[in-house]
Chains A and B, each alone.
Chain A
């Protein structure tokens, strides 16, 4: 079945540091890929997405590129802020069967001033 593997956390960075959270996936067919963010005490919200190979999703300074050859969708940000502290989930949707999404285990990011 489909699966998503995220780098293990937690990740602690200083403000303005560069962020990379690795994500790789296994899927049959051609999934869409997503990063969701969960701030403390809140639900998940979409951060960015990519629907086909070589697409780059971007939002709020975060970017991720859909790499079919390496089955990866790594999340990056050039300069993190304290307000970016949250749990980040990589996910894929199989685009069939009402599009069940499969999530990675989540990576907790803490940014210190």
Chain B
């Protein structure tokens, strides 16, 4: 069964360092997302991406964040200068193909980011 894969599963970094989280969405999906989850509870929307551009972003997704789809398979989230409060589990998700958008999200297993 197709699945969303994320790397790394866990990253520890120093405050102020750049971090790149990588995702491989399901191959025929067209909509891509990043969410984050703090303390194993609330799931917060960061950004959605469609047709090679950001379609919506939240207030959390400030100038320190960026996303990219550098090739036909990867979808990355970059945090330029990490802060302590960026520590969270980051989930990539994908959804939908041509003429069959359903709103259902397929999530990866997550990348845990710890900022020291």
**Residue B40 at the chain A interface, CB threshold 8 Å:** yes
Instruction: Write the nearest CB–CB distance from A26 to chain B, whole angstroms.
Output: 16
| A66-94 contacts to B (CB < 8 Å) | 87, 89, 91, 93
Instruction: Kindly identify which residue among A46, A95, A105, A106 contacts B105, using a CB–CB cutoff of 8 Å.
Output: A46
How many chain B residues sit at the interface, stated as a range, is: 20 to 34
Is A17 on the interface with B (CB-CB < 8 A)?
no
Contact between chains at A87 and B55 (CB < 8 Å): no
- Residues of chain B within 8 A (CB-CB) of A106 are 41-43
Segment touching A, from B14-22, B65-73, B75-83, B106-114: B106-114
Specify the chain A residue showing the minimal Cβ separation from B54.
A98
Does A100 contact B110, Cβ atoms closer than 8 Å?
no
Within 8 A of A (CB), among B1-37: 4, 31, 33, 35
Do A51 and B102 form a contact, CB below 8 Å, given A98-B55, A100-B56, A105-B42? Answer: yes
Number of A-B contacts defined by CB within 8 Å: 71
From DSSP, what is the main secondary structure of chain A's interface residues?
strand
A32 at interface (Cβ–Cβ under 8 A)? Answer: yes
A93-B40 contact, Cβ under 8 Å, with A43-B91, A98-B50: no
Flag A32-72 by CB within 8 Å of B: 1 or 0 each: 10101000001111100101000000000000000000000
A-B contact pairs, 19 of them (CB 8 A): A32-B103, A34-B104, A34-B105, A36-B107, A44-B105, A49-B104, A91-B43, A97-B48, A97-B55, A98-B31, A98-B48, A98-B49, A99-B95, A100-B48, A101-B33, A102-B45, A103-B42, A103-B43, A105-B41
Which 6 pairs across A and B sit closest by C-beta, in order of nearness? A93-B103, A98-B55, A103-B43, A43-B107, A32-B103, A98-B48
